[in-house]
Amino acid sequence: MRRAEREAAYVEFATSRRDQLRRIAYGMCGDWHQADDLTQTALVKLYVAWPRITRHGTEDAYARKVLLNVAIDASRRPARREVPTDRLPDLAAPAGVGVEDRGSLVAALQQLSAQQRATVLLRHWLGLSVTETAAELGISEGTVKSHTSRGLSALREAMAAADA
Query: pLDDT tens-digit profile of 16-25?
Result: 999 999 999 9
How confident is the model at residue 87, as a pLDDT?
73
Could you tell me where in the chain the CATH 1.10.1740 domains are found? 1-78
**Can you tell me the mean pLDDT for 113-122?**
90
Cα–Cα separations (whole angstroms), residue 107 to 31, 102, 112, 155: 10, 8, 9, 9
Total Cβ atoms within 10 A of residue 83: 6
Q: Please name the fold of domain 1-78.
A: Rna Polymerase Sigma Factor; Chain: A (1.10.1740)
Closest CA to 8 of 49, 61, 37, 47: 47
Residues 62/153/37/4 CA torsion (nearest 10 deg): 20
DSSP tally for the chain: helices H, then strands E: 7, 0
Is residue 99 over pLDDT 60? no
- Confidence label for 100 from pLDDT (cuts 50, 70 and 90): low
Give first-to-last CA distance, the chain, whole Å.
58
CATH 1.10.10.10 in the chain, residues? 98-164
What single DSSP character describes residue 78? G
Q: Please give the mean pLDDT across all residues of the chain.
A: 84
Q: At what angle do helices 99-111 and 141-163 cross, to 10 degrees?
A: 130
Q: What is the dihedral of CA 21, 19, 90, 80, to 10 degrees?
A: 20
Residue 27 has pLDDT above 80, yes or no: yes
CATH of domain 98-164: 1.10.10.10
Average pLDDT, integer, range 41-54:
91
